[in-house]
Amino acid sequence: MTGAATLVDGAPMFALSEDQQAIRMAVRELVEARVAPYAGEVDEQARFPEEAFKALAAADFDAPHIPEEFGGAGADALATCLVIEEVARGCASSSLIPAVNKLGTLPLLIAGSSELKQHYLPQVARDHLMFSYCLSETESGSDAAAMRTRAVRDGDDYVITGAKKWITNAGESAFYTVFAVTDPNARTHGITAFVVERGDPGVSFGAPERKLGIKGSPTREVFLDEVRVPAWRRIGEEGSGFGLAMRTLDHTRVTIAAQAVGIAQGALDFALRYAQERQQFGHPIADFQGMQFMLADMGIRIEAARQLTYAAAGRSERGDRDLTFFGAAAKCFAADVAMQVTTDAVQVLGGYGYTHDYPVERMMRDAKITQIYEGTNQVQRIVAARQLLAGIQAELH
């Protein structure tokens, strides 16, 4: 499924296809009926959004990117972003179900053997089991090459020992893409990826982190105590893990941009309704020019972030050479927009916006993480700058 490109007066214009518009509306209707009504409760109780998971799974929106040959819906990168955006519009925590399923399984799709794909991907698509991504460690965040988790070859197996930090949906997911050092002397060329199962002996989880936002998506440490993994569960060649992790993030940063756009849109939607209903000085506050300027800026920023995200999604689907720049740019810009728009939404509501009685304060808390995970926005700016200095923008015109 791809967008329709047309020419108007010689200039290219992008628009969603009818199929993509249908996907958006199908997800929106599902979210409004079966996801958004539980978002506040999920946040208050800091519990996994079971209602959302069941609804998304029933409609095959929990992992829409899985190819049809493995029992999935076969959604392309843009359609997957539409799903994530619409879910995030109602509940940011729930949007991490399709987003993290893509993050966890993409290494298999990029570099996994036929055996590995055939074994795991149908379980995600048909059985609706979740897949998490284990890269970060306590002393290895932005500097992924500094990881200490070790994988030692032992006959037909690898024995993995270490701990992974900040793992989204840990404990809920059945499967984990784990990056570990197989050659400590080779630095980035000594890292390898594996599939670890929740039920493997030696796998355990830390207590859920107490977080500012996305409280419905559990974030926990994953402990690996001499976990024995058969060699067929290795993803790609030994030593290829670092490059695979970076290639994966090039694609999945686009999904975080989509999440950020969705959060921002949800906040603007609520702020617009409130501004038209709230009366001050005998008029709806939407009648006042200062409020109109604020709302206009919110809408303009969101649409700019949306278009950049969709452009990045197209490059993700095609595997364009400038994907690294566009993935970093979309994630960075959309996340900053989400933080600005949700903060402004709280301002629109005034004192009410600061209370748990209204959803915009939750959206503001949820938005913050989009500036941090899958590479902080400072790191995204470094990535984008390096791409520019390497001359990538010469290919954009």
| From 29, 32, 374, 395, active-site residue | 374
Give catalytic status of residue 374 as yes or no: yes
Q: How far apart are the two ends of the chain, measured CA to CA in Å? A: 25
**Cβ–Cβ under 8 Å, residues 285 and 352:** no
Active site members: 374
